[in-house]
Structure 1
Amino acid sequence: MRINKAGLGSWHRHVKRKGYPWFPGRQMLLLLLMAGIVLSAGCDGPRLPTPDHPPDAKPKSPINIVISNLGMTFPAGMDENDNRYLNYIEEQTGLDIRVNTPPPEVYNEKLDVIMSSGNLPDMLHTYDPVWFDHYAKLGALHPLDELLDQYGPNLKAKIPAEVWDRVKYGGNIYAVPSLNEVTGVELMYVRKDWLDRLELAPPVTLEDYYEVIRGFTLDDPDGNGQQDTIGLTLTSKLGRSSPFFGAFGTQLDTWFERDGKLVYGNILPETKEALAFFNRLYQENLLDSEFPLNLQSSVHEKIENGKVGLFSAAWYDTRGPIAANKLKDPNAEWIMLEYPTGPEGHSGVYGKDVIRGYNVIPATSEHAAEVIKMLDFIVSDYKTLKLGFENEIWRWENGVMVTDFALHDEHLYRGIYQSLVDVPDPVLFKERLDSLGDFNLYNNLEMINQHIIPNAFYGVPTPAMSKYSKKLDRMEDVFTKIIMGIEPLDAFDTYVEQWRQEGGDEITKEVNEWYTRQEAGR
């Protein structure tokens, strides 16, 4: 009797998609199949075991994982538990993977709810180092060293030793980290056709930028006879503002070395100067009045519809809102700019931490080995999961990677699984970006990489960070109020004092203790 393995796989996926219990159904199916084999053996000769389905095989226990859907959507008829890439991972590893994707808007809160429940999954993925630090110190997570030695050769080979050191507590590893592929995000883009119409040169200094922002607001750069354009736009919580803080030699949420000590960028006098610059723009109606409410999609819509000609772009926006604007207005011409240089000669943008996310296994999991096997496979088959299926999504032509854009975009959901263990591959990265079209993506990242203002603190969150971070983050609302004139500029000084009193001094002390240890070890 021949067992149709493809049919079993199809039935398995049907069970997962419909949410039927897996164990009872599969046990019954196996019993029926084995009964059929026994009956046929009486006619066809002795029963011979096969490598794939030995006679004493037990049903696989599913592994349950909680991950973010990254805001992705699935093609019709697919979901997070039934799609080509998850099915591919299962077929290659022999694992049965059940996926739970809490909504991105409440993802962190949901992780806390799950950890406090009595029904823990086998793996969770978090992007929050404070969250990881909290549960590692509680003893709620499974140590991974022996599992990695036995089941994670590719993980150990592709993730640098210094990164593993950052997910250790008491000498033991408690997370499989996912790495950032890019070092930074923001760079300046401008509509050259608007500059040309107003006879303005590409801005370099902060004062040059002010003049361009003023002209783009008041001097009808699109030539439609109406004053309906925006000089500069930001998103809520001061998103897309990094180059302007960089012009003053500071960055939000970044630690700097000053006179042998680490200090927090949010409380530096330079940050007050940056807020004063934005307040000037706002009071003169040169800054988008809707910025406190702007989502990223709101900014994209304004750019696409020709209302914005200057903004701090994400490196991939040339393939997004800028490309969309060019489709609507064939005369639109966008160029990359130098970062604004401030009065003291400073410029640059924030950098991204090397660790993007953390895969952790609750201490109660009975399937920790299977989780490590899954993650090890993901990192080992990086190209398929990163780019999509070869000769379908992409192919080689005369040594050049060619991508089918429509299929590439339809299959973007693969990133939900691949990004669990992202590892940089510079050669493949450039080939992939170049294959996506003439959007200057690689050059954008090269520009950013040359102007990163590094964060001097890169250790695990300190105890005081875990204790006070949420409260201190809420206090930053005063920055927006200062820009809008709701609070005076001197409210910044009050914020600094409150920040220090409400846990900031304790955080600073711990950060400098870490810094002293780092310097001693050099």
Structure 2
Amino acid sequence: MKQASVVLLASSLAVTAAACSGGQGGGTAAPQPGQEAQPPKLTSLTYWVANHSAAAAQMKTYAEMESYKELENITGVKVEFQHPPLDAQQQKEQFNLVMASSQLPDVIETIWTSNYPGGPEKAIQDGKIIKLNDYIDKYAPNLKKLLADHPDWKKQIMTDEGSIYAFPFLRGGDKVRVFFGPGIRQDWLDKLGLKMPTTIDEWYAVLKAFKERDPNGNGKADEIPFYIDKAMIGVDAPFLGAWGINYGFYQDKGKVMYGPIQPEYKEFLATMNKWYKEGLLDKDFAAPNDKLYDNKMTTNLLGASVFYNGGGIGKYANLMKDKDPSFKLVAAPYPVLKPGDKPIWGQKDFASNGVGAAVSTSNKNPIETVKWLDYAYGEKGDLLFNYGKEGVSYKMENGRAVFLPEVLNPPSGVSLQQSFAKHNRSTWSGPYVLSDNFQTQYLALPAQKDALAIWSAPTAERKMPLVTPTKDESSKFASVMTDIETYRDEMLLKFIMGAEPIDNFDKYVKRIQGMGIEDALKIQQAALERYSKR
């Protein structure tokens, strides 16, 4: 990421911006690099990307974000962002509608490894997005250098066939790859004289004490000891991971397995069913509601759950600092079955999570668009996308970007994530490299720094890399897994809530086997072996 290359890039983009428009293409296939002696000048782009709630709370479009306003000043390129609704299902539906159109936005950002049926290679073969390898080689010096310096990153952002399909979101170091895990009210533990639980049995004893010994001190039996829903279970298996499995596919010494049909999964379900029957598990867990969850946390009712570091531990510390000075939410270790065991499962992202900004085949100016996207991966782009505009959200001190106090200390009612969202996308994702320096400032509280260390302990040795099925495998895999996952989610709730007896677990496994899980396992096994050969 040499500064000289960035200056040259910024200059070339500023020059191209002086000419007439471009960007809204006509559906023809993009030219290959080098075919155009004088590529059209770029002054505008259409850019489809899902919005984020922290940004949507204070602006209509990413175009109002400080980093994108400054990027327009630098490059002269005006971006029309197209945001679907915040609801995940509506986002998926609108993405499918967009991809079915003959007139695509110039840039499309999504999780290509999972959101496009058949994966990113099929999106290239279907003529929706362009293969970027040659474009990056010729016109994206910043990303080219990063991938040369980090061949493991390059392996993660390409398909089995070797295609690079998008400008990727990359987590640059270990400190930005761990951000989720179990949490507990330390002030409740202290009040009851309890130690931090580390095993499933110890958790049971603590949750029973939360239920029976009035840790919130209001004289009522209103405490909710523990909350976990199916979405939380799916994020690298908190609690379920104590049994060595997860809620989907995993690999054990190179062999692909499916967690929800293993005998250990039955033991997990039996444990959760016991907790539910004894009132230790929130009765509302089957119908997640963010506002209701927030209310339980901020009215001193909820004792433990799983949390994001910034959007959980940091969020509630900020919301409660004036309301209840004794409030102390802290990270807990990922639980194990036996004292002294090393946790296997825990949340830790790879450098790439599949999010990336692809150039569509409707884009009339792919070369200049590639140059525009590449800016984020250079030295100045790194500052812009991680921190925002110098003097507005950060200043330089001893060669290091440091956020201004007004950004790090937002007014009451504004979360730290919302404060950052006015300036950048660093608290979620985007086509740039997330910096460890950003993370150490975002996780400003001692409890957040402790959480990073505590949640980093699991080995994550069984986690599947971001494998993809082939074009021929994709439709079969999608049809099989859509039905299986719907049934799996339905039965998770029934087993835990007692609507389905645990004794019927074998019948449940046989039904999943009858739905084609063995075919899906073979596809995943082949995909893992292809990934290993990339």
Into which bin does the TM-score normalised by the smaller protein fall?
A: 0.7 to 0.9
Of 244, 253, 269, 1:249 maps to: 244
Partner of 1:300, secondary structure, is helix
CA distance in 2, matches of 1:346, 1:288: 28
Of 425, 429, 441, 2:435 maps to: 425
Would you say how many aligned residue pairs link Structure 1 and Structure 2?
467
State the Cα deviation string for residues 201-257 of structure 1 (Å, max 9, x = none): 222221111011011112211121100111111235454883311221122124131
Q: Which residue of 2 aligns with 1:114?
A: 98
Structure 1 residue 491, shift from structure 2 partner: 3.8
Q: Is the alpha carbon distance of 1:325 and 1:236 closer, same or farther for their aligned partners in structure 2, counting shifts above 3 Å?
A: farther
Of 161, 182, 189, 1:170 maps to: 161
Determine if contact 2:227/2:305 at 8 Å carries over to the other structure: yes
Structure 1 residue 431, shift from structure 2 partner: 4.3
Of 51, 68, 82, 2:50 maps to: 68
Is 1:286 aligned to 2:280, yes or no? yes
Q: Which residue of 2 aligns with 1:453?
A: 460
Of 80, 85, 108, 2:67 maps to: 85
In the alignment, residue 120 of structure 1 is paired with which amino acid? L
Name the % identity. 23
Gaps of 5+ in 1: 1-8, 13-20, 24-56
Of 348, 351, 356, 1:354 maps to: 351
State the Cα deviation string for residues 10-61 of structure 1 (Å, max 9, x = none): xx9xxxxxxxx989xxxxxxxxxxxxxxxxxxxxxxxxxxxxxxxxx99755
Structure 1 residue 413, shift from structure 2 partner: 3.9
Q: Which residue of 2 aligns with 1:366?
A: 364
State the Cα deviation string for residues 106-137 of structure 1 (Å, max 9, x = none): 21221110111122111111125133414234
Q: Is the alpha carbon distance of 1:387 and 1:85 closer, same or farther for their aligned partners in structure 2, counting shifts above 3 Å?
A: closer
Structure 1 residue 468, shift from structure 2 partner: 3.0
Structure 1 residue 370, shift from structure 2 partner: 2.7
Stretch of structure 1 that moved more, 157-166 or 86-95: 157-166
Determine if contact 1:185/1:351 at 8 Å carries over to the other structure: yes
Q: Is the alpha carbon distance of 1:292 and 1:76 closer, same or farther for their aligned partners in structure 2, counting shifts above 3 Å?
A: closer
Equivalent residue runs for 1:106-255 within 5 Å: 106-132=90-116, 133=119, 134-159=122-147, 160-166=150-156, 167-168=158-159, 170-180=161-171, 182-239=176-233, 242-255=237-250
Structure 1 residue 446, shift from structure 2 partner: 2.6
Is 1:496 aligned to 2:509, yes or no? yes
In the alignment, residue 87 of structure 1 is paired with which amino acid? K
Determine if contact 2:42/2:369 at 8 Å carries over to the other structure: no
Q: Is the alpha carbon distance of 1:255 and 1:312 closer, same or farther for their aligned partners in structure 2, counting shifts above 3 Å?
A: same
CA distance in 1, matches of 2:252, 2:82: 42
Gaps of 5+ in 2: 1-13, 23-38, 411-415
Structural RMSD (CA) = 3.2
CA distance in 1, matches of 2:228, 2:440: 32
CA distance in 2, matches of 1:142, 1:399: 38
In the alignment, residue 374 of structure 1 is paired with which amino acid? W
Partner of 1:168, secondary structure, is coil
Determine if contact 1:276/1:489 at 8 Å carries over to the other structure: yes
CA distance in 2, matches of 1:471, 1:58: 47
CA distance in 2, matches of 1:309, 1:129: 36
CA distance in 1, matches of 2:328, 2:163: 53
State the Cα deviation string for residues 303-354 of structure 1 (Å, max 9, x = none): 1211012222222222112442343211223443333221484634243343
TM-score when scaled to structure 2? Answer: 0.78
CA distance in 2, matches of 1:284, 1:196: 23
Is 1:469 aligned to 2:476, yes or no? no
Equivalent residue runs for 1:308-323 within 5 Å: 308-316=302-310, 317-323=312-318
Partner of 1:391, secondary structure, is coil
Determine if contact 1:206/1:340 at 8 Å carries over to the other structure: yes
In the alignment, residue 438 of structure 2 is paired with which amino acid? F
TM-score when scaled to structure 1? Answer: 0.80
In the alignment, residue 404 of structure 2 is paired with which amino acid? T
- Rg larger in structure: 1
Determine if contact 1:69/1:416 at 8 Å carries over to the other structure: no
More contact order relative to length (CA 8 Å, sep ≥ 6): 2
